[in-house]
Chain A
Amino acid sequence: MASADKARTQTGKTPGTEERVLGPPNWGVVFRNSGKAFFLMAAPLVGLLIFWELLAHSGTLHPVLFPPLEKIWVTMVDQAKSGILWLDIYVSLYRLLVGAFLALVSGTVVGLIMGMNQTVERILAPPMYFFLAVPGLALFPIVILWFGLSDFTLISVLWFEGMITVMVNAWTGVKTVDASLIRAGRAMGAKGMTLFFQVMVPGALPNLIAGYRIAFSRAWRIVVTGEMIVALEAGLGFRIFAARDFLAADMMYGGVVVVGILGVIVERVCLRSIELATVQRWGTLRE
């Protein structure tokens, strides 16, 4: 062996292969870091609540329009005790999950096929762009005409709007898979459907998941606003809108807060976990 080879074995030993020895957890650092993270997260919210409370008690604003926090809290506790709050949450989430599930499945399938087949792409892209420009809410009057004031109406609009969103992202995802990855897949013998499922789909996943996220948040908005239009006797949107008749501002504020909290929870639980299992593990997404 020549000197060059010897030099490489000396300097070229790959770092990280040696055994790493870790001591016990450093609790001081853990507490400090998580405490700091919690403070940064909570501080603006707490600030906002304090500001609201001060304003509500200052006497400059009408107490019916700007009720203090304790009044909102009592109202919501009453709603919870009577079971109405839980019914509303159940009904709204049910509509969201059914609609979003249908949207995710159909949008993914259609979008991926669009990315795979140029003829399908040319046929579907124009209507896709058209309906992307039409707000889902604008469809409600028409769909009510077809199906009446029913859950079916709400979920149809939800499904359609979500599907278009997911479609665009699935399609773009396939279209933007790195050409060198496709070449590598082909060079290693992947063809046709195998190439599609082994290379194109995982390559499209970052975009696909981004699409799911947007679709979920859009779907949640449509559920809540749709419940105001279709007026289905229950649901968070319906409750907020109905509170208008009784000038019950506390119920409106409470409802909006519940809607926001639920939206965040759904997003964090459903979509973050998909992300953690895929794109974040692969390092194609950072948080």
Chain B
Amino acid sequence: MAIQGPVKLQVTGLDKVFTIDEGWGRTTDITALESVNFEVRSGEFISLIGPSGCGKSTLLMIVAGLYEKTSGDVVLDGHHINDTGFDRGVVFQEFAVFPWLTVAGNVRFGMRMKGIPKAERDPVVDRLLRLVELEGFKDVYPYRLSGGMKQRVGIARALAFDPEVMLMDEPFGALDAQTRSSLQQLLVQVWMETHKTVLFVTHSVREAAYLSDRVLLMSPRPGRIAEEIKIDLPRPRDVLSVEFLECERKVAETLAGLMGQSDGQPAWVTD
């Protein structure tokens, strides 16, 4: 089950220092990320998990090219990444669906930017909306959609220009538990169908264990990749099976250890 494809994405010695303006000519430096190293193989599903404020979203935004890095290197398919690009599709926690475009218009947006001819766009839109189960909502404006539906537009939109890597920043964090689990299952389905490489930021242990091939655990600030846990279970996973619960427990205990809870009791993990 472990994926042995070629290395897709490689992050080496990545640092991020935020300089905060304190006023009156004073500044404070905050080290958000310190020498982050990891690699993602082609077709792999990787989760980044860690306590809030550990810099996992910052890391994802740097890979997306939306934030500047302070030092280090991000390499995707041999290209050094310093800016946004069509080789990466980003899904945001806030959905960030454009309210002035219809569902289809949102999905088309990236393709338009990439310069894909008109005639080729529509079949892609239809296929992706079917994939995220939104056929019939093509001409609807986003305000009429629920949160879960908006995020499905977000996923379809990020897939539309056929990126190499999907970068997902706590995409289900703002959804209720039921919608979240339904979207997690949908994501597994989409992932199995599209064979995309996915880098997925989450704060939920169960979500990370349910979705990923590998879970990368980050330490509290300054964020580093502290541990790595392989989840070698076939998909779709049964979240109530003994094997799954063991994996979940392992992730939770390791995370609790990183948080400085020496007894290793992940009492704070309820999700």
Contacts and interface: CB of A to CB of B under 8 A. Distances in A.
Contact of A187 (B90, B143, B236): B90
Contact of B96 (A3, A11, A180, A282): A180
B185 A284 contact: no
Contacts of A205: 100
Most buried by A among B61, B90, B239: B90
A13 B109 CA distance: 26
A189 B116 CA distance: 12
Interface string A83-96: 00000000000000
A33 B45 CA distance: 55
Interface in B55-109: 61, 64-66, 84-86, 88-90, 92, 94-100, 109
Dominant secondary structure at the A interface:
helix
Contacts of A183: 61, 66, 90, 92, 96
B99 A284 contact: yes
A16 B84 contact: no
A186 B185 contact: no
Nearest to B115: A189
B134 interface: yes
B90 A184 contact: yes
Given A180-B92, A202-B100, A190 B113 contact: yes
Nearest to A18: B136
A284 B149 contact: no
B157 interface: yes
A284 B186 CA distance: 29
Contacts, number: 101
A262 interface: no
Given A4-B185, A8-B185, A189-B86, A278 B100 contact: yes
Contacts of A278: 100
Report the interface size class on chain A.
35 or more
A181 interface: yes
A5 B98 CA distance: 30
Given A188-B161, A282-B141, A181 B98 contact: yes
Interface string A267-287: 000000000001001111000
A8 B113 contact: no
B114 interface: yes
A198 B161 CA distance: 17
Contacts of B92: 180, 183-184
Given A180-B94, A282-B100, A187 B84 contact: yes
A14 interface: yes
17 contacts: A1-B236, A2-B237, A4-B238, A4-B239, A12-B186, A16-B137, A178-B94, A180-B95, A184-B92, A184-B98, A187-B65, A187-B84, A187-B89, A188-B161, A189-B85, A282-B99, A284-B143
Given A188-B89, A189-B110, A278-B100, 13 more contacts: A2-B237, A4-B239, A12-B133, A14-B133, A184-B92, A186-B84, A187-B84, A188-B109, A188-B110, A189-B84, A190-B109, A283-B142, A284-B100
Give the 6 A-B residue pairs with the shortest CB-CB distance, closest first: A283-B143, A188-B110, A189-B113, A184-B96, A187-B90, A180-B96
Interface of B: 61, 64-66, 84-86, 88-90, 92, 94-100, 109-110, 113-114, 133-137, 141-144, 149, 157-158, 161, 182, 185-186, 189, 236-239
